[in-house]
Amino acid sequence: MIKLLYVSDISKIAHLEEDVRTYALEALTILDEEYGTDRDPITDLGGYVVILENPEDIQELEELHNIDLTKNPSPEFVDFIYPERGPRYTASLFLLSSDYGIIIILPYNMTPKVILKK
């Protein structure tokens, strides 16, 4: 699992497709502009972006934030990221409070079917 807390963290996903990096960068830019770069994204308002790369990451995220991606997820929205080359991804926003959310990006083939139906 790769946590991206600020725009400055974008280099952590340099190995991913450009479309995925762009999507994450746009979300992080909004968070930095609206909530500041001096926030603690884990405890303060705003939130962060997380990239899940394997099934163990899903389990870790579920334990960390009590988000159940497989049984009854309730994302605010689901976007599809279709790079010209390389694997496809989904991006889902989960609001954990009125002003705190997590954008979860994961490979399309790892995305639970119940999320794909949203």
DSSP 8-class letter at 17? -
Asked if 81 and 104 touch (Cβ cutoff 8 Å), the reply is: no
DSSP labels for 67-118?
A: --SSSS---SEEEEE--SSS--EEEEEEEEETTEEEEEEEEGGGS-HHHHT-
Which pLDDT belongs to residue 85? 84
Per-residue pLDDT of the chain (118 residues; tens, 9 = 90+): 999 999 999 999 999 999 999 999 999 999 999 999 999 887 888 999 999 999 999 989 888 888 888 777 889 999 999 988 889 999 999 998 888 999 999 999 999 988 888 6
- The domain limits of the chain are 2-116
User: H helices then E strands: how many in the chain?
Assistant: 3, 5
Q: What are phi and psi of 79, to 5 degrees?
A: -110, 155
Taking the model in full, what pTM does it have?
0.92
